[in-house]
Amino acid sequence: MKNIEIVGTGRYLPSRKIENWQLEQEEKLPKDYIYSRCGILTRYYVQEETIVEMAVRAAFDVIQKKKIDSSNIEMILVASTSSKEQMPGISFQVQKALQIPSCICLDVSAGCSGYINALDIARLYVSAGIATNALIIGVDVLSTITKEPATKILLADGAGATFIQATNEPKEYASLLESNGIEGDILTYQVGNYIQMNGKEIYRYAVTKTTKNIEELLEKTQKTIQDIDYFIPHQSNQKILDSMVKRLQIEKKKMISNIQNVGNTFCASIPIALDEVFDKIRPGQRILLSGYGGGLNTGSILLEK
């Protein structure tokens, strides 16, 4: 099994910036209600962008920043919960936009933490030597599929991209994925309907199950939380993030939180947050990515830059 490294990251946020007062007015909520509930100040909604265009723009962002020759990309994986694109899937449309004649494409649906699953699959293909590299995209357009204030104040649109490749250097990688369909009813979405969320149950699940998942991953890899340099959890709600930090007893400055500026973008949230800090992370530093959400699905990845 070959080692993998993250070569670069990219993101795309749509053009329409939405402030809390706009949503508070629209939903007849008291002033400062949103920030006090979830720590979000602004978020971005699509204007004319399609979900495919957002994925393509995030891909172009990493390709341009890292001067990647897109004709050499061997695998494209897209994670989304809001896609209607069945044939061709978003990954195939990204391949077309990048004019790649042949590679492996795949769309993945595994709830808000689908990006973790996509990255883990990509890693296996690269580690097994089937592909030498992979482009992983998380993208969601949630502004059009929320109806109730509880989801409207949280959810937003965005896309994040990560490019990995095989490396001969020693690089740690470990993951722990766990699904729990029995509790799947607490966060649901069927295409054509709206997202339904039981906020209290999600809070309980995220704080208990996800921290347990992280602790088990650390144990499996014989690491402690002190060995982690950057903790990048799914940006669900600032209150959940704060509770996770407390429970894990990780230094708060190690946790990356951008929810204040971009809201909760489901599958895009981890790759966007990773992109925001990627250049600061030094080679050899350890990153802990942790996703959780609809399914229910939880997954953490511990890897070295």
Contact residues for its own copies, defined by CB under 8 A: 1, 76, 81-89, 91-96, 99-112, 117, 121, 124-125, 127-128, 130, 175, 177-182, 184-185, 187-192, 195, 293-297
> Is the Cβ–Cβ distance between 5 and 126 less than 8 Å?
no
State yes or no: is 117 an active-site residue.
no
> Is the Cβ–Cβ distance between 56 and 94 less than 8 Å?
yes
Q: Which is nearer to its own copies, 195 or 250 (CB)?
A: 195
Q: Which is nearer to its own copies, 34 or 106 (CB)?
A: 106
**Active-site residue, selected from the candidate residues 38, 112, 117, 267:** 112
Give the integer Cα–Cα distance in Å for 65 and 280. 15
Give the integer Cα–Cα distance in Å for 301 and 217. 8
Residue 7: how many other CB atoms lie within 10 Å:
16
**Active-site residue, selected from the candidate residues 20, 105, 213, 234:** 234
Tell me the sheet residues that pair with 141.
Answer: 157
Nearest to 165 by CA among 2, 4, 1: 4
Tell me the sheet residues that pair with 176.
Answer: 300
Give the integer Cα–Cα distance in Å for 229 and 242. 17
Q: Which is nearer to its own copies, 24 or 293 (CB)?
A: 293
Q: How far is the CB of 124 from its own copies (least distance, A)?
A: 4
Q: How far is the CB of 277 from its own copies (least distance, A)?
A: 28
Q: How far is the CB of 253 from its own copies (least distance, A)?
A: 32
> Is the Cβ–Cβ distance between 295 and 125 less than 8 Å?
no
Coil vs helix vs strand at 133: strand
**Active-site residue, selected from the candidate residues 117, 133, 264, 297:** 264
Q: Which is nearer to its own copies, 214 or 281 (CB)?
A: 214
Q: How far is the CB of 175 from its own copies (least distance, A)?
A: 8
State yes or no: is 112 an active-site residue.
yes
Q: How far is the CB of 93 from its own copies (least distance, A)?
A: 6
Nearest to 104 by CA among 118, 84, 83, 85: 118
Give the integer Cα–Cα distance in Å for 137 and 56. 9
Q: Which is nearer to its own copies, 180 or 226 (CB)?
A: 180
What is the residue type of 189? Y
What is the residue type of 188? T
State yes or no: is 264 an active-site residue.
yes
> Is the Cβ–Cβ distance between 126 and 164 less than 8 Å?
yes
Q: How far is the CB of 83 from its own copies (least distance, A)?
A: 8
> Is the Cβ–Cβ distance between 277 and 217 less than 8 Å?
no
Q: Which is nearer to its own copies, 113 or 257 (CB)?
A: 113
DSSP state of 150: H
**Catalytic residue IDs:** 112, 234, 264
